[in-house]
Amino acid sequence: MMQRSLVALASSAAFLFLSVGQALAAGNLVINSMHSDPSAKKAFDAVLEKFKAENKDINVTVNVIDHESYKIQIRTWLPNNPPDVATWFAGNRAKFFVDKKLVEPIDDVWKPVEADFGEGAKKAVTFGGKKYLMPATYYHWGFYYRKDLFEKAGVSKAPATWTEFTDAVKKLKASGVTPITIGTKQAWPSAAWFDFLDLRVNGYDFHMALLAGNGNYTDPKVKKAMGLWADLVKDGAFPKNAAAMTWQEAAALLWQGKAAMYLMGNFVSTEIPKELAGKVDFFPFPEVDPNVPVSQVAPTDVYFIPAKAKNKANAKKFLSFMARPESQQLYNEMNALLSPNTKAKSDPNNLFLQKGSAILGEAKGLSQFFDRDAEPEVAKVGMDGFVEFMAYPDRLDSVLAKMEATRKRVHKK
Amino acid sequence: MPQRHEQRKAAWLFLFPSLVLYALYVVLPIFFTLYLSTTTWDGFSARVLPACLEFLANSEELGTGASLSGGSTEAPVSCFANYAELWNDDVFWVALRNNLLWLVFFSLSAFVGLALALFFHVKARAASFYKSMFFMPMVFSLVVVGTIWGWFLQPEFGLLEFLLKKMHILGEDEQFGLLASFHWATAGLIVAAAWPHAAYCMVLYLAGLSNLQRNVLEAALIDGVSRWQLLWHIVLPMLRPATIVVTIVTMIGALRSFDLVAIMTGGGPANSSNVLALYMYQQTFENNRYGYGAAIATVLFAVSLLLIVAYLRQTSRDQN
């Protein structure tokens, strides 16, 4: 017995000595990352090499965990034994942890780089007046459309207002194509319509409060936004069997020329077939109410420092490094994504990245997408509701009532 | 006598390892699920208490663990709150209804299997070739079956769509959107599921058929019974053991349907083709509601148990 505890004492003393020694000599930095797909990993390694070259005294450890597991596991390690830096999403998903005081404010890291970032990006990382997150990468959503089909239908320019948009839809319909393609076999593509219409009709603050659980889904304002969508559905703007198509199958309708436009995230632009080069273009979701400042949907990935991190000084060094335009450019170039730092350049030959970068930089607010901004349960009921609504637009009231009932139960108010 | 005792001891000894595993991986989880169904566990918080006892935890501990789970400090709730919520959950009732639809229509594949078995129970040269053709879908994983049928039924580019148009059953502007239909999606799923299952039933019946007592059949034929009488009064009763197995695997197959639904429709459109097993998965692992998921699992378990016990009792009574 005695012997065993002596051994334990000796080994823990040795461990203590070793770890103290290491801390003195080098200084550690532990990073947990959820970006596990090969291209993201490769890009991250490239950026990390640069950081290491600048900070030879810091001993960096990176734990890459696959996306889905990460989302589950973070809730156990973040309160107990967090790393020094972790990746996460901006917006409400982060607010959940900020409210629990698990995230370190980083206003000092932000101060020197503040001018480099757009309004929308800054809003998405600020909670109660303090900045907590460093955005590393984002991408834009909007309409991908066939220029040739628009011309054939007599639509000379991309619609900028809702009147122009509905006019274009009518002309396209008359020309014999499905005006707007969508596939809701997985329900999420429908949520983009809700996000954009609510943002355009009721504005960023209303939309974000609603999704955070502080609004009412049965509010007449919400109904007004949904009404515009209902009109499109009733006019036959969407494919009849959207509910049986995946988002890729819906994209195929666009490539085949059976449909004229598609509200999607920029990842769809990497799927454009070579023979359509030059025929597919992008326009942002049109303005509905000129009095509502324009905001965009831009799912943003961020880095943050857990409140209980052990090496906060090193973590801040890393975040400052990641905020630089060169670092963001290097990382995002390799992934065909956009850099929240507006001084970072995106591929000048990529029309979609150029247009996206412009609209996100100007945006007055960036939402993160319905299923990131709302609680998972509300999001599920909502997205199933949108699919039902797209098949039966007359059921709008019952769909909104279901969402409201779920919101009440989840948010307890 | 002592020898008999020894034998019995040996039997238990040999059974012991598998009994331990069975208890650990089957029996225990059943009771744990029952317990979970009384909680609002989110899968993360360290302490799992039934909902009606949660106020105990909240009064003594306000650490990060409890606050992360979103533990409320409200008045005590019923331990059966999950079941009460199920009662008012439309999706639950739709899923239960769909499970019962599965039960009824999925069993038709057993008749197809029987018909195929009777048809192929001949000593023709090509029979084994055709038999193996029909058996093929049984070899595929259900994921593959679901993907194939998903493509086949796809409303824009699907093969069925193409064929129906070629045969002018469907007009040029019409579409056969089976899986997009709020009323018929489940039908599409059951047809897809019946494809491999009919093959499975066929094999079970073929095995049964090869065990028939030839002399009885021959005696009956000599006595001059018709083919239908032979089938109804002699072959089918002799196939009883196979029928019992087929019925049970069909019932279980219908009740635990999950993979095909997840792949072909994901329960959609808007939950109209959801089934209990998939809904349980979605609530548990997508919404992090382990307690609610466990309540759905408990209902599914009760339904299965009830049906299967009732059936087994009925058959054993018939045999006596």
List chain B domain ranges. 83-319
| CATH fold for the domain made of B83-319 | MetI-like fold (1.10.3720)
pLDDT average, residue stretch A20-38:
74
Nearest alpha-carbon partner for A282 in A158, A366, A197, A196: A158
In this predicted structure, the answer to whether residue B59 has a pLDDT above a threshold of 60 is no
pLDDT of residue B76: 55
- Which two structure tokens, joined as six digits, stand for A387? 């699919």
Equal CATH topology for A25-138+299-367 and A141-297+375-411: yes
pLDDT in tens, B172-211: 777 778 888 899 999 999 999 999 999 999 999 999 998 8
With contacts defined as CB-CB under 8 Å, which chain A residues touch B72? 412
> Residue A180 region, left (φ>0) first, then alpha (ψ -120 to 50), else beta?
beta
Contact assignment for B177 to A75 by CB distance below 8 Å: no
When pLDDT is cut at 50, 70 and 90, the band that residue B34 belongs to is very high
- Give how far the C-alpha of residue B55 lies from the chain's centroid of Cα atoms, to the nearest Å: 38
Omega prior to A79 cis, within 30 of 0: no
Does residue A28 contact residue A311 with C-beta atoms inside 8 Å?
A: yes
What's this model's pTM, rounded to 2 decimal places? 0.82
pLDDT average, residue stretch A400-411:
93
Does residue B106 contact residue B97 with C-beta atoms inside 8 Å?
A: no
Residue of A nearest to B282 (CA): A380
pLDDT in tens, A195-239: 999 999 999 999 999 999 999 999 999 999 999 999 999 999 999
Task: Let me know how many helices (H) and strands (E) chain B has, helices first.
Answer: 18, 0
More confident residue, B295 or A119: B295
Longest dimension (CA), chain B: 85
CA end-to-end distance (rounded Å), chain A: 57
Give the separation between CA A391 and CA B182, rounded to whole angstroms: 9
Nearest alpha-carbon partner for A350 in A295, A281, A247: A281
The CATH homologous superfamily to which domain A25-138+299-367 belongs is Periplasmic binding protein-like II (3.40.190.10)
In this predicted structure, the answer to whether residue A16 has a pLDDT above a threshold of 50 is no
Does residue B67 contact residue A100 with C-beta atoms inside 8 Å?
A: yes
pLDDT of residue A183: 94
Contact assignment for A243 to B289 by CB distance below 8 Å: no
More confident residue, B131 or A204: A204
CB contact B241 to A (< 8 Å) = no
pLDDT of residue B97: 95
Give the separation between CA B162 and CA A3, rounded to whole angstroms: 80
Q: If DSSP states are collapsed to H, E and C, what string results for A71-108? A: HHHHHHHHHHCCCCEEEEECCHHHHHHHHCCCECCCHH
Question: What CATH number matches the domain at A141-297+375-411, 2.10.240.10, 3.40.50.300, 3.30.1110.20, 3.40.190.10?
Answer: 3.40.190.10
Does residue B270 contact residue B183 with C-beta atoms inside 8 Å?
A: no
Residue of A nearest to B285 (CA): A72
Of B74, B179, B289, the CB nearest to A244: B179
With contacts defined as CB-CB under 8 Å, which chain B residues touch A391? 180, 182, 269-270
CA angle A300, A301, A305 (to 5 degrees): 130
More confident residue, B75 or A58: A58
SS3 A301: strand
Does residue B281 contact residue B261 with C-beta atoms inside 8 Å?
A: no
Give the separation between CA A323 and CA A354, rounded to whole angstroms: 20
pLDDT average, residue stretch A365-391:
92
pLDDT of residue B61: 45
CB contact A388 to B (< 8 Å) = yes
Residue window 146-185, chain A: list those with CB within 8 Å of chain B. Answer: 184-185
Residue window 263-322, chain A: list those with CB within 8 Å of chain B. Answer: none
What are the extents of the domains in chain A?
25-138+299-367, 141-297+375-411
Which residues 6+ apart lie within 8 Å of A108 measured at CB?
A316
The ipTM value here is 0.80
In this predicted structure, the answer to whether residue A7 has a pLDDT above a threshold of 50 is no
Does residue B219 contact residue B205 with C-beta atoms inside 8 Å?
A: no
Longest dimension (CA), chain A: 91
Which residues 6+ apart lie within 8 Å of B179 measured at CB?
A185, A241, A243, A244, B150, B153, B154, B155, B185, B188, B264, B265, B273
CB contact B177 to A (< 8 Å) = yes
pLDDT of residue A354: 92
- Which two structure tokens, joined as six digits, stand for A370? 């319905």
List A170's β-bridge partners, or say none: none
What number of CA atoms fall less than 13 Å from residue A211's CA on the CB side?
29
SS3 A143: strand
Query: How many residues belong to chain A?
Result: 413
Give the separation between CA B84 and CA B81, rounded to whole angstroms: 5
Q: Is the torsion defined by CA of A213, A214, A220, A224 positive or negative?
A: negative
Give the separation between CA B98 and CA B189, rounded to whole angstroms: 11
Residue of B nearest to A245 (CA): B154
Of A187, A253, A380, the CB nearest to B156: A253
pLDDT in tens, B21-31: 999 999 999 99
Pairing label, strands A28-33, A130-131: unpaired
When pLDDT is cut at 50, 70 and 90, the band that residue B264 belongs to is very high
SS3 B81: helix
- For testing contact with chain A, the best of B154, B156, B274, B279 (most A CBs within 10 A): B156
Does residue A172 contact residue A179 with C-beta atoms inside 8 Å?
A: yes
Residue of B nearest to A379 (CA): B287
Q: Cα dist. B84→B81, B280, B289, B295 in Å? A: 5, 16, 15, 10
- Which two structure tokens, joined as six digits, stand for B309? 């016990």
